[in-house]
Amino acid sequence: MSERPSYYERHIFFCLNERAGGEACCARLQAQAAFDRCKSQAKALGLLGPGKVRVNKAGCLDRCAGGPIAVVYPEAVWYSYVDQSDIDEIVQSHLRDGQVVERLLTPPDVGR
C-alpha cells in the first residue's frame, strides 16, 4: 500500500475551547494569543501554504489538564506551552526544522 501525499506537510491545531463554570480550559490560558503568535511567526518564516504548514483553531482536544494544548500532525506530537517563546520554539524547531521540542511535550497520561 503506497502512502498518499498530504496537502500539508504539517498541521498544528490549537485548542481554543472555553468551558463554563470555571472548569479548566485552554481559552482561559491565552490560547488565542498563542494561536495568533504561531500563525504570524509561521507566516514570517514563509512556512504557510499547500505543501507546507497549516495553523488551525480547534475545539476541545480533551487534554484540558495539560492546557494550553496544541498538537502537530502527521506526527501526533502533543505540546503544552506557557508563553510566546514556547510558541516560537515550536514554530522554529518543529514546524520549520522537523525537530520535536521535547521539553514542551504533554505527558502521555494527561487527559481531561
CATH code where residue 37 lies: 3.40.30.10
Is residue 89 very low, low, confident or very high in pLDDT (cuts 50, 70, 90)?
very high
Rounded to the nearest 5°, which phi and psi values hold at 80?
-110, 125
One-letter amino acid for residue 78 of the chain: W
How is 2-53 classified by DSSP, letter by letter?
Answer: PPPPPSSSEEEEEE----STT---GGGGTHHHHHHHHHHHHHHTT-BSTTSE
What is the rounded average pLDDT for all residues in the chain? 92
Element (H, E) at 41: helix 31-44
Is residue 2 included in any domain, yes or no?
no
Is residue 109 very low, low, confident or very high in pLDDT (cuts 50, 70, 90)?
confident
C-beta atoms surrounding 89 within 10 Å: 16
Q: E strands of 35-105, at which residues?
A: 53-58, 69-73, 77-80
- Please count the structural domains in the chain: 1
Is residue 112 included in any domain, yes or no?
no
pTM: predicted TM-score of the whole model, two decimal places:
0.91
Which range of residues forms the domain containing residue 55? 10-104
Q: How far apart are CA 49 and CA 63, in angstroms?
A: 28
Is residue 25 included in any domain, yes or no?
yes
Is residue 109 included in any domain, yes or no?
no
Q: What is the pLDDT of residue 110?
A: 82
Is residue 98 included in any domain, yes or no?
yes
Q: Pairing relation of β-strands 10-15 and 77-80?
A: unpaired
Query: Which stretch of 5-19, 28-42, 44-58, 77-91 has the lowest confidence by average pLDDT?
Result: 5-19
Is residue 69 included in any domain, yes or no?
yes
Is residue 1 included in any domain, yes or no?
no
Q: What is the pLDDT of residue 3?
A: 64
Query: Which stretch of 22-31, 56-65, 72-81 has the lowest confidence by average pLDDT?
Result: 22-31
Is residue 64 included in any domain, yes or no?
yes
Query: What is the arithmetic mean of pLDDT over 79-102?
Result: 97
